[in-house]
A and B are shown apart, each in its own frame.
Chain A
């Protein structure tokens, strides 16, 4: 084998010499041109991680405008989604204060509504686990489940807790509040009466959890300063730490873990010996797991296709456009496969019970079939798409040998 490696360059030299010696100047010129074109078109091949996706030629009307795509992501998707979530939390905070001050059926119902509204908005934020979000484990603080009921109850009874401690990540956020609003009593009256007794401290804990989400989210919102934004947008090359590379990786990671595994796979028992119906998102609220999953499906669809968060009819440059640019001469476009698979996912998820927990208990097969259609898109995104984009996966699965 060694022989081959050393022999190859030798042969090339040999050939080059022979050829050039036989050719006149005109032929040489032709060759040079051919080589140049070859190198350019070769740069999108999969075997190096240092390709021409960089935007040195942004001004060139023929090349893909990476900066414009990044700008679309930040200005029209990421920041508006965070802002929407942030705004919804303000309303949530008000409803929580009103409820804690006067726990009634009505104030509770308003609070639940506000909670759901925030939960839905959150589905558009979770996938952007970059910058400060990644540093402070933002997604684990907002949407970690299953929530740790024992921890919550202990925190409430001991009145000695620091929500910034990692041990308490599973005792806060939207799922922690899910338990407080739906799970601390057998029925609504019981729940209201627990909140009504100030000595029990449920109201205080609820307020603390909401306040924590508010403060974390405003930190995240502030972290998208003009300075950070402009450095993010100008990071157009393709290295492991560049913006496109990181966001695409986060997007796929989210699709594989946050979406596929957490919402569907884990409850359906794909990663365990048996189904785990108590692992669904918003478990105690019972009727929200499907609506949240459907919202997340839309969020994935919107980001992939570049739809603006506040006006989904409008679109800007997206991964889809980038793929189509790189596959300009392909008849069967990967982006179409991904989009048609997203449609199938939406159909299959829509067919599930509003409460995934019940779906798992009654007819888990349907959950598994939904998982299959999602998994098929994981393969498209993680294998086929990354190959076309020439991006390496920055997270690894455990290899059991």
Chain B
């Protein structure tokens, strides 16, 4: 390792010296300038050689695929199921709590034996605030003890009153129905959108693709020490490779490993989580973002195999900044949608949009912009969420003007 360093330093120094020579001798001898040009060309060839990248996120060792992320797939399936169950009046607190925190009791019984949980990966990165996870437990409690009983009793929701609420459209037909708490929170939306930030983005950006996590496995990666084996008998995957793959899995776990975007209906695809919303951003706000993220995942993974850690960190920075945009765009756009719904008097639509917005705003603290900072700190997020849900009636008391102001503030913070 030391030798390698020395050589790189040596090269750099000679380069500077060469350039210096060039300046000094330029006037005297033309020949030297020609030699310089040759040297520079050689270096460029080297640089290009590093990035012969596969087109697909696929890496092998001795013919065996080294990429796997079954744990992430299981957790994303759990998150998807929880979104449904958090809107089901018949579910008890104990049932939801068991699914979230113990990782059992799911409809898809294969999940129970996965040994994975969503709860212990929620806002669990080293930089995440410990105050966030209890919010999710609180929403389970709120839904099962306040919303579900009110809905079962047929209570119509209104400002300060939990229950269900149905919009009536201009033509007299019924619109959306939401089950909301006293403040108009549609809890499964808050829970699910909250997880996109606090669980998926936090795990990718602040855990698996973070410098400290990856670089902690540097020595093993340098020396070809393997730490993971997937379903093989012997370890053949380095820790650093696997950490990166796990980061990848937190985005693509329900979709295809071999292409960006959503998977095929036949093989299953994300219908509720980060990749689903990334796909929306890709088709509206920022075409090409999905490919950009996918390519950065490939380049970073190839850099790990090549032991090029500066490149790895550069690609991790791209993935993090691009993924964060999904949270940024959606936090803003759902507030604007909510403002429009309120203007139109469609309260069920408004509660739905504002609940999604609430969840995405929560996620702003787990993001990392291109400078490596979150769009908003935990404190800033909390203060915005307080404003969004202020008053006994919460969302019911918001005006379109207030929501537009908040959306503008988010746009200001994200720079999007």
Chain A residues in the interface with B (C-beta under 8 A): 1, 3-5, 7-9, 11-12, 14-16, 18-19, 22-23, 27, 30-31, 34-35, 38-39, 42, 45-50, 265, 268-270, 273-274, 364-365, 368-369, 371-372, 375-376, 378-379, 382-383, 392-393, 396, 399-401
With A1-B305, A23-B21, A369-B131 known as contacts, the answer to whether A15 contacts B101 (CB < 8 A) is no
> What is the distance, in angstroms, from A69's C-beta to the closest C-beta of chain B?
25
How many angstroms from the CA of A379 to the CA of B15 in the assembled complex?
Answer: 38
List residues of chain A with CB within 8 A of the CB of B112.
none
Contact at A19–B9, with CB atoms within 8 Å?
Answer: no
User: Which residues of chain B from 158 to 200 have a CB within 8 Å of any chain A CB?
Assistant: none
B49 touches A15 (CB 8 A): no
User: Which residues of B sit under 8 angstroms from A27, Cβ to Cβ?
Assistant: 17, 20-21
Question: B7 contacts which chain A residues (CB < 8 A)?
Answer: 8-9, 12
CB-based contact B17/A19 at 8 Å: yes
Q: Of A1, A19, A45, A270, which is within 8 A of B50 by CB?
A: A1
Residues of chain B within 8 A of A378, CB atoms compared? 126
CA distance A34 to B212 in the complex (A): 32
Q: Which of A11, A23, A375, A401 contacts B42 (CB 8 A)?
A: A11
* Chain B proximity of A365: nearest CB distance (Å): 6
Closest to A386 in B: B212
Query: Can you report 26 residue pairs joining A to B where beta carbons are below 8 Å apart?
Result: A1-B305, A1-B306, A4-B49, A12-B10, A15-B42, A16-B14, A18-B18, A18-B39, A19-B39, A22-B21, A31-B14, A39-B9, A45-B5, A49-B219, A273-B97, A273-B119, A274-B137, A365-B131, A368-B129, A371-B130, A372-B129, A375-B126, A375-B127, A382-B126, A382-B212, A400-B120
For residue A168, give the distance in angstroms from its CB to the closest CB of chain B. Answer: 31
B387 on the interface (CB 8 Å rule)?
no
Evaluate contact between B35 and A379: CB separation under 8 angstroms.
Answer: no
Is B39's CB under 8 angstroms from A34's CB? no
Select which of A7, A369, A379 is within 8 A of B127 by beta carbon: A379
Q: Would you call B212 and A383 a contact (CB within 8 A)?
A: yes
Question: Does any Cβ of A come within 8 Å of B146's Cβ?
Answer: no
CB interface residues, B 68-109, toward A, < 8 Å: 69, 71-72, 97, 101-102
B130 to A265, Cβ gap below 8 A? Answer: yes
A265 / chain B contacts, CB cutoff of 8 Å: 130
Besides the known contacts A7-B46, A38-B13, 11 further A-B residue pairs in the complex with CB atoms under 8 A apart: A23-B21, A27-B20, A34-B17, A48-B1, A48-B2, A269-B134, A368-B130, A368-B131, A369-B131, A375-B130, A400-B120
Q: Say whether B126 contacts A379, CB under 8 Å.
A: yes
**A residues in contact with B32, CB < 8 Å:** 22
Question: B49 touching A19 by the CB < 8 A rule?
Answer: no
Interface string of B1-28 (1 = CB under 8 A from A): 1100111011111111110110000000
Q: Which 3 A-B pairs have the closest CB atoms?
A: A4-B49, A273-B101, A383-B212
Determine whether the beta carbon of B219 is less than 8 Å from that of A42.
no
Residue of B39, B71, B134 most packed against chain A (CB within 10 A): B134
Query: Is there an interface contact between B46 and A15, defined as CB atoms closer than 8 Å?
Result: no
A1 and B13 CA atoms in complex are apart in Å by 25
**Most central of A11, A19, A365 by chain B CB within 10 Å:** A19
Shortest distance from the beta carbon of A73 to any chain B beta carbon, whole Å: 26
Are the C-beta atoms of A47 and B218 separated by less than 8 Å? yes
Inter-chain contacts of B212 with A (CB < 8 A): 379, 382-383
Rounded to whole Å, the gap between the CB of B220 and the closest CB of chain A is: 11
**Closest chain B residue to A9 by CB distance?**
B7
Q: Cβ of B410: which chain A residues have Cβ within 8 Å of it? A: none
B269 within 8 A of A: no
Residues of A within 8 A of B13 (CB): 31, 34-35, 38
Chain A proximity of B25: nearest CB distance (Å): 8
Chain A nearest CB from B36 CB (Å) reads: 9
- Nearest residue in A to B116 (C-beta to C-beta)? A400
Interface pair A401/B131, CB less than 8 Å apart? no
Q: Which residue of A lies closest to B115 (CB)?
A: A400
Q: How far is the CA of A273 from the CA of B127 in the complex (A)?
A: 19
Q: Which residues of B are found within 8 Å of A273, using beta-carbon distances? A: 97, 101-102, 119, 137
Within 8 A of A (CB), among B111-130: 116, 119-121, 126-127, 129-130
Give the chain A neighbours of B9 by CB distance below 8 A. 35, 38-39, 42
Q: Is B383 an interface residue (CB 8 A)?
A: no
Smallest beta-carbon distance A14→chain B, Å: 6
**How many angstroms from the CA of A138 to the CA of B14 in the assembled complex?**
55
The CA-CA distance from A277 to B38 in the complex, in Å, is: 71
State whether B126 touches A47 (Cβ < 8 A).
no
A8 touches B18 (CB 8 A): no
Whether B21 lies near A19 (C-beta < 8 A) is yes
Tell me which residues across on chain B come within 8 A of A12, comparing CB atoms: 7, 10-11
Q: A396's closest neighbor in chain B, by CB?
A: B216
CB proximity of B124 to chain A, nearest CB, Å: 9
| Complex CA distance for A375 and B378, rounded to whole angstroms | 14
Contacts of A8 in B (CB 8 A): 7, 46
The answer to the question of B270 belonging to the interface, with a C-beta cut-off of 8 Å to chain A, is: no
Does any Cβ of A come within 8 Å of B330's Cβ?
no
When C-beta atoms are compared, the residue in chain B nearest to A370 turns out to be B130
Which residues of the other chain, B, contact A400 by a CB distance below 8 angstroms? 71, 116, 120-121
B201 within 8 A of A: no
- Tell me whether B233 is interfacial, beta carbon within 8 Å: no
Residue numbers in A under 8 Å from B38 (CB-CB): 18
**Interface presence of B64 (CB below 8 A):** no
**CA gap between A269 and B130 in the complex, in Å:** 9
Complex contacts, A364 vs chain B, CB 8 Å: 134
Q: How far is B282's CA from A188's CA once the two chains are assembled, in angstroms?
A: 69
CA separation between A382 and B20, bound complex, in Å? 42
The reply to whether B306 and A401 form a contact with Cβ atoms under 8 Å apart is no
How many Å from the CB of A350 to the closest CB on chain B? 19
- With a CB–CB cut-off of 8 A, which chain A residues contact B71? 400-401
From B1, B10, B20, B49, contact of A3 by CB (8 A):
B49
Query: Which residue of B is nearest A365, CB measured?
Result: B131
How far, in whole Å, are A368 and B137 apart by their CA atoms in the complex?
14
| Candidate in A9, A34, A269, A399 with the most chain B CB atoms within 10 angstroms | A399
Which residue of chain B has its CB nearest to the CB of A41? B9
Cα–Cα distance between A7 and B242 once the two chains are bound (Å): 28
